[in-house]
Amino acid sequence: MLIENCKLAIRSIKANKLRAFLTMLGIIIGVAAVITIMTIGDSMTAQQVKQMSELGMQNMDFYISQIDWNEEVSEDDRKAAELTAEDLHDMAQHFEDKIAAISVKSQAGSGKVNKLGKEASVNVYGISVGYLKANNVKLSAGNFFDQYAYEKGSKVAIVSEKFAQQLFGENYNPDSVLGTDAEILMDSDFLDVTIVGIYEPIQDLMSIYGFGNDKNTDVYIPLQTAFDFKHEVSYDSVVIVAAEGVDMNTFPTEVTNYENERMASRLKDIFSISTYTNKSMVDSQQQTMSQMTAAFALIAAIALLVGGIGVMNIMTVSITERTKEIGTRKALGAEDSMIMFQFISEAIILCLIGGVIGMILGLSLGVLVDKVMGFPVNISFTSIYLSIGFATAIGVIFGYAPAKHAAKLNPIDALRYE
């Protein structure tokens, strides 16, 4: 019976191709819109997760913040609460099984470099050994600082490819840059350094979202070199790199509880230790993107409902046109359930054909947009299953009323219908 009903439904659709297409149009547009939006949304999320994962899902920003910003704090209290090298050493010792590296950065200043008649604006940062690991810095030429440079504060620098291009031309030869002396003017003081490495373009979480400074204008020098230049020891940022396998949902709490207790006498209930992880940023962005995608998909799904109303209208018209056919079938012994199932089958097949066409169109548009935008193609199979399932449900729901009306027709009245 099912096969026979399907054949009757397909025969009816073929007999009225234009009407059938116009009926399916709402379903096609709705399914295509939902799949396109969810495919693009999933691809954007995958792209962001990929970018942020490259920055280190085991990274955790560690900082001291004032609890009440309206409270006046003396300079002595503020100085007492500052992190010291001893604090960082103690942290590394206490969590030695859980910490892979501690990244420290301290800004020496901002300034300009003039060379060969060209100028480059730079931010100069002193960095610790762990900074390169925490920020996934990779060299395109040269070497990282050796242990001697970190300990003695050697006047050496690692610069960006952008820096090299600005001073040595777009098609610079790395060999002509490495070993070159650079004189950086910062606040009327000069810092003379020798370039020992060139790093590849890098991103951080802020630059991914369009905030913060361009990290590719940064010049890196050993941390001790920065301290010697500005005649003070201060840390602009501290990032803890947790060892692989450490639970980043619980480890930040362990660190903050330990350090708040250890430094309680210096923090004096004025300051507190806080942490922020890349993982929490990724989780937050994934949740936001999922909510946005779902909201847009829900709006697009309204087209499916409109398409369902169209299916109900056209099925009503079809039943009116085929009243005599219904009367004949009932006169020959067809039961109400058979008539009803026939027209529900027709509605479902209409919606399924529209759903399949919409799926193909939606996937094509989604992949095309992903390619144009440079996103990794991430096909949303969930949206495909939901859209096809929803299209089938619409066929049943909106086909039910017309089908029930057809099943209840009196065969004598139906045969007399003109």
Residue 32 has pLDDT above 50, yes or no: yes
DSSP 375: P
Please state, in angstroms and rounded to a whole number, the distance separating the CA atoms of residues 27 and 311: 9
Residue 124 has pLDDT above 90, yes or no: yes
Orientation of helix 336-373 relative to helix 323-331, angle to 10°:
130
DSSP 146: P
Residue with tokens 């373009």, as numbered in its chain: 201
* 56 confidence band (pLDDT: 50, 70, 90): confident
**pLDDT of the residue at 210:** 47
Average confidence (pLDDT) over 42-59? 75
* 1 confidence band (pLDDT: 50, 70, 90): low
Average confidence (pLDDT) over 316-327? 82
CA 90 to chain centre: 36
Q: Across the chain, what does the average pLDDT equal? A: 84
**pLDDT of the residue at 203:** 62
**pLDDT of the residue at 261:** 92
Report the b/e string of 49-68 with b at 16+ CB within 10 A. Answer: bebbeebbbbbbbbbbeeee
**pLDDT of the residue at 183:** 92
pLDDT digits (tens, 9 = 90+) for 128-160: 988 877 888 889 999 999 989 998 999 999 999
Answer positive or negative: Cα dihedral of 74, 76, 81, 82.
positive
Please state, in angstroms and rounded to a whole number, the distance separating the CA atoms of residues 375 and 378: 8
Residue 323 has pLDDT above 50, yes or no: yes
Long-range contacts (CB closer than 8 Å, 24 or more residues apart) made by 298-304: 300/30, 300/33, 300/34, 300/37, 301/30, 301/34, 301/390, 302/30, 303/26, 303/29, 303/30, 303/33, 304/26, 304/27, 304/30, 304/31, 304/34, 304/387, 304/390, 304/391, 304/394
Minimum mean pLDDT range among 42-51, 94-103, 340-349:
42-51
pLDDT digits (tens, 9 = 90+) for 355-376: 889 989 988 998 888 888 877 7
Q: Are 125 and 105 in contact (CB under 8 A)?
A: yes
pLDDT digits (tens, 9 = 90+) for 215-249: 568 999 999 999 999 988 888 889 999 998 899 88
Residue 402 has pLDDT above 50, yes or no: yes
**pLDDT of the residue at 142:** 92
* 417 confidence band (pLDDT: 50, 70, 90): low
- In this structure, which amino acid lies at residue 195? I
Q: Are 345 and 6 in contact (CB under 8 A)?
A: yes
- The H or E element spanning position 124 is strand 118-127
- pTM of this prediction? 0.63
β-partners of residue 197 are 142, 158
**pLDDT of the residue at 318:** 81
**pLDDT of the residue at 2:** 65
**pLDDT of the residue at 149:** 92
* 55 confidence band (pLDDT: 50, 70, 90): low
